[in-house]
Amino acid sequence: MYCCGLMITSNLSKCKKIIFRRPSVKLDILPDPLADIERVSCAKLLGVFIDCRLKFTEHADYVIKISNQQLYLLQQLHKQGLSDKCLDVVFCAIILSIITYALSAWGGYVIKDNINRINKTLAKAKHCGFCSKLYTFNELLEHYDDRPFSQMAFSNHCLHHLLEPDSSTSQMTLRTRGHSFNLPRFLFDLTKKSFIFRLLYGFM
């Protein structure tokens, strides 16, 4: 009998440790530190900055910083005589794509102040004529949530198992919901902001 094993080695210098916890915790008990692994309050994963409080403030700061830099580039292109139609295409490519990247994963957690800052950047782009319509953060989030939720409804989707059919046997006449899945209960508002919970409660 032959046994084939796979050894996976990790570069500890590239590993980070992040502890997620609720914003207001009465007793903060932290696990023991891991040898040779740095503990951080914010880490970048697949292009998204995730902080230990799940407010995504660092990511919002990054998005706004890059977007404002790209606004300057659009301003220079406008001075060079680029048409409004082409400016709109470039805006979608270098600004809108940054804001909407993985938006469904982090958009639900963003605090109101950062939403207003992003909206201000989008409004500035429209005011300067760099885009054909006025975008808002909440509208973009709703738009990018709609497609994955529609796809998850199919049984062959990889996330379909996270949706439980509604098993309610109530005889009461209730208004028609936007889906036939069970609404899971939650204890904390932060849970409702997560991707699955936000979709289930958002498309009622």
* pLDDT for the residue 180: 64
User: Average of pLDDT values for 72-76?
Assistant: 94
Q: Based on the structure, what is the number of domains in the chain?
A: 1
Would you say residue 24 lies in a domain? no
Please tell me which residue, 124 or 169, carries the higher pLDDT value: 124
Mean pLDDT of the chain: 80
Would you say residue 76 lies in a domain? yes
Would you say residue 179 lies in a domain? no
* pLDDT for the residue 4: 45
Q: Is the model's pLDDT at 2 over the cut of 60?
A: no
- Residue-number span of the structural domain to which 103 is assigned: 57-134
Of 13-22, 50-59, 190-199, the range with the highest mean pLDDT is 50-59
User: Average of pLDDT values for 164-181?
Assistant: 57
* pLDDT for the residue 186: 65
Whole-number Å distance between alpha carbons of 162 and 152: 9
Would you say residue 167 lies in a domain? no
Would you say residue 109 lies in a domain? yes
Q: Is the model's pLDDT at 120 over the cut of 90?
A: yes
